[in-house]
Amino acid sequence: RARPRLQGQAMAQVKPPDAEYNAPGYTPARTERELEDVVARVPIVKFLLEAMEKAGCPVNKKFFHIEHCEQAVVGGFSPDVGIVMCHNNISCRTDVENMVAHELIHAYDQCRNKHMNWLDLKQHACSEVRAANLSGDCHWVNEFFRMNWGYQAQHQTCVRRRAELSVAMSPACKSNEHAKAAVAEVFDQCFRDTRPFDDIP
């Protein structure tokens, strides 16, 4: 089976070069076991799967693909493929939980907007802001291990930074400044959009 192409689609974040992520990646078998447990036990993931079903886009096991990836990402979402999990870049359980939640938010955005264009940087940026905001990516514990220790508006700062990193990976993005501009244009509106949650989890 050919590996799904992730280029041009919503992508999980590039992992920062710090000690937390220097461990070897998971095996495909371990990734599959962790995925099964996360889907069964993690409240945010269970809630998002229920939200997908209510929105008319039920997800089953075939929606998840465990692959060896060349890009320095833990996973990605493609409307034509589903969620790709990059086992060789996964180093801990938290990677799995955050990545699955992050990509399910992209999948939810695709479900509620069937005409979504992931190569439109504003649309992509909005989904990245939402995914970083709602998935747990920017929980203070994760930021602590990334050595980002700011206090004032640290959550918003993290969401903006991680959205910019993802948008910069798009083939439609010309530069880091282009990514920053796209995120800035949509940030306030998309940060406030917490669907399917009532508030930031």
Catalytic center residues: 103
What is the Cα 39 distance to its own chain's centre? 16
Residue 132 CA to residue 104 CA, distance in Å, equals 11
User: Which residues in 97-113 are b (16+ Cβ under 10 Å) and which e?
Assistant: bbbbbbbbbbbbbbbee
Question: Given the DSSP bridges, would you call strands 82-86 and 75-78 parallel, antiparallel or unpaired?
Answer: antiparallel
**Contacts for 74 with CB less than 8 Å, ≥ 6 apart:** 12, 13, 15, 85, 86, 89, 90, 95, 99
Which residue is listed with tokens 């060896």?
68
Contact 38, 102 (CB under 8 A): no
